[in-house]
Amino acid sequence: MTQLKITDLYFAYNSDKPLFHNFSLSLKKNQLKTIVGESGSGKSTIFGLLTGRLKPQSGDIEVPRLSIVYQDPYSSFHPNYTILDQISDVVHSLDGLEHIIARLNIDKKLLHKKPKSLSGGELQRCSILRAVLMRPDVLLLDEPTSALDNIVAYDVMTMLVEFLDDFAILLITHDMDLATWCGGDIVNIGQKD
């Protein structure tokens, strides 16, 4: 069953140089695909199109239930509320919380702290926890390891790939090594702005 479908997408900031022309992509449950591109290639634009912040100039984008893990975990949490409060605000149910925090190797005490008390790696794990508890059809990862050191980044991606039984994953990154390591299909959008 297809979870996400982009058909004949056209988008341009400058009509002489479209970022996307007849671009198509489909993603099924249990599938991982990576969109790879250098700075200026359109990664932020495709992210904006998938999240609805931008509208395609032609073509169709069908996006089911989507949850997002952002590049900078500190920017995705409010500084004045605990992690658990912010998770509870956006999920329908905390069923499975204990199981998922065990899979993500999160100390439960961290959930009762505010974001500034956590390291980048801890906070990114909490961001993944929140995204998974939202029970998405597709998990959208926007450069999820760029703010992390290599060891923490490897741990985070290993955990994310283990969730492929539950949903599809679309990773957007500039890092070809990361894309290759994750496996799955790689879509290179190498054209620069």
pLDDT score, position 40? 85
For the residues of 128-139, what is the DSSP string, one character each? HHHHHHT--SEE
Give the ranges where 13-165 is alpha helix by DSSP (H). 43-51, 83-88, 97-103, 120-133, 150-162
CB 13, CB 39: distance < 8 Å? no
CB 14, CB 157: distance < 8 Å? no
Do you know the residue count of the chain?
Answer: 193
pLDDT score, position 190? 65
- Residue range 56-71, pLDDT digits in tens: 999 999 998 999 998 8
**Is domain 2-78+135-188 annotated with CATH 3.40.50.300?**
yes
- Residue range 84-115, pLDDT digits in tens: 999 999 999 999 899 899 888 899 999 999 99
- Residue range 125-173, pLDDT digits in tens: 899 999 999 999 999 999 888 777 788 788 878 888 888 888 999 999 9
Contacts 24+ apart (CB under 8 A), 158-163: 159/103, 159/104, 159/105, 159/125, 159/128, 160/69, 160/128, 161/32, 162/103, 163/103, 163/132, 163/139
The domain spans of the chain are 2-78+135-188
pLDDT at 3 over 90: no
